Structure formats: structure tokens, C-alpha cells
Amino acid sequence: MNTIDWNDLALKATFLNEDQFTKEIASCTNFNFKDLKKIITESKITHQNLIKTLKLIYDVTATNNEKAKAILNIENGLIFVLKLFQKVL
């Protein structure tokens, strides 16, 4: 997987519709469109908060504790992560 340009995604989040944004996120991650769209809808996470949450998940320099604390501070971030884990498990 290539390096994800989080700043570019944040910019695109401001003008892409829900399906376009979900396709963009799916194309640069290992998530498929259908599952990702369902998780986004169920968690009610905004585009900007989704980017913040995924950026934390993909951050290899942060410890799990740091990631957990930061995700708790993102509105609907924890709900998104829990629904994501439900899909994986």
C-alpha cells in the first residue's frame, strides 16, 4: 500500500459527496466500498473525523495507548473503530 496523503484526503472531504469520498478512502486503504460505507453510516462519523481516526490507526509512530486516548477525543471515532472491528472479527 502506498503512503496515504491525509492532507489531500482532508481537502477532498470538503467537496466530495458521500459515495465519492467513501470510494476515495477505500481506494487508499484495505477497506471495501460496501463495508466502509455501512460503517461510516452506522457510526455517523463525519468525513473530517473519519480522516482523523484513520490517520491515528495508520500512525506507526504512536503507541496503542496514545491512539486510544486520541480516538476517544474524536466525535464518533470510537463508534467507528468498534464497528470496524466488528466487521473484521
Mean pLDDT of 68-84: 94
Q: Per-residue DSSP letters for 17-36?
A: -HHHHHHHHHHHSS--HHHH
The per-residue pLDDT for range 1-54, each reduced to its tens digit, is 468 899 999 999 999 999 999 999 999 988 899 999 999 999 999 999 999 999
Question: Could you give the C-alpha distances from 57 to 15, 16, 17, 85, in angstroms and in order?
Answer: 24, 23, 23, 12
**Nearest-angstrom CA–CA distance, 24 and 66:** 27
The residue ranges of every structural domain in the chain are 6-88
- For residue 2, the model assigns a pLDDT of 61
